[in-house]
Amino acid sequence: MKNEIDFLLHLADNALIIGHRNSEWCGHGPILEQDIAITNIALDYIGQARNFYQHAAELINQQPTNISVTLTGNDMVLPATEDSLAYLRDVREFKNLLITEIPNGDWAQTTLRLFLLSTFQLQLFTQLLQHSDTQVAAIAEKSIKEVSYHLKWSQDWVLRLGDGTEESKQRMQTAIENIWAYTGELFIQPEFATAACLNYSAIQTAWNQKVSAVFEEAGLSIPPKTFVQKGGANGMHTEHLGYILAEMQYLQRAYPNSEW
């Protein structure tokens, strides 16, 4: 059960942190319609995070003893809730992929990151439809609808910018170089990802196909093999995550035990 809980937290943390990053654009987007679109995507991710956290909390609270869901051994606040899981864990307890936490950069980097991540998520969630926990399968089914839209939207931007102007092409290519080192982590199966329905190498194959096809159409090139930055699932993060959490968790930390 610990594995399933950790896996749910991993999915929830991914959604929360990418949602947070996308929400930073709200009010600052390059085109009003696109400002609305990215805010809507952020909202979808916050919704997914809530679904995964709620289910994780349910499982945690069903455990007979206080199982440790933290890596640093901090006591988990019980009963667990979606908010205690999101707001009262620290950097080393977060299990999100590094690609979700790196800064937005420009519009090219933001849309590229979403394209690379949602291509991965679509494959992962499709496998989760077969999960033995029907609740997980149900959340995956709902999320697939959203992630398919995120993929289409971000793919359109990769094409548009890759095949737009000289400047946009160059920015997209720079974004690829900035982000590429964080893509390898997508296919490293976390130790707690033990569900029988999971097959990370199949995800990788499908991801490679999709990404190469879109890059080719956009006239973008994949960098030569780069070092893989990894560790998010085990709580080894970039320095950026601490700032995200400091901002996100500030009210819960400054005014403990309050209802909002």
Residues in contact with other proteins by CB under 8 A are: 16, 20, 23-24, 26-36, 39-40, 42-43, 46-47, 49-50, 53, 82-83, 86-87, 106-107, 159-161, 163-165, 167-168, 171, 244, 247-248, 250-252, 255, 257-260
**In terms of CB distance, is 131 or 171 closer to other proteins?**
171
**In terms of CB distance, is 227 or 260 closer to other proteins?**
260
Q: What angle do CA 34, 39, 41 make, to 5 degrees?
A: 95
Phi-psi region at 73: left, alpha or beta (left = phi > 0; alpha = psi -120 to 50): left
DSSP-assigned states of every residue in 106-152: SHHHHHHHHHHHHHHHHHHHHHHTT-SSHHHHHHHHHHHHHHHHHHH
Helices vs strands, H then E, count in the chain: 10, 0
CB of 58 to other proteins, least distance (A): 15
**In terms of CB distance, is 28 or 225 closer to other proteins?**
28
| Residue 69 · residue 150 · CB < 8 Å | no
**In terms of CB distance, is 27 or 73 closer to other proteins?**
27
State the Cα–Cα distance between residues 10 and 67, nearest whole angstrom: 17
State the Cα–Cα distance between residues 24 and 244, nearest whole angstrom: 11
CB of 139 to other proteins, least distance (A): 15
Residues 6+ apart with CB under 8 A from 20: 42, 244, 248
**In terms of CB distance, is 97 or 218 closer to other proteins?**
218
Residue 207 buriedness (CB in 10 A; 0-12 / 13-18 / 19+): buried
Of the candidates 237, 42, 59, the residue with the CA atom closest to the CA atom of residue 133? 59
**In terms of CB distance, is 203 or 220 closer to other proteins?**
220
Of the candidates 113, 135, 122, the residue with the CA atom closest to the CA atom of residue 8? 135
**In terms of CB distance, is 151 or 161 closer to other proteins?**
161
CB of 31 to other proteins, least distance (A): 6
CB of 124 to other proteins, least distance (A): 22
CB of 155 to other proteins, least distance (A): 13
CB of 121 to other proteins, least distance (A): 19
State the Cα–Cα distance between residues 8 and 59, nearest whole angstrom: 10
CB of 145 to other proteins, least distance (A): 17
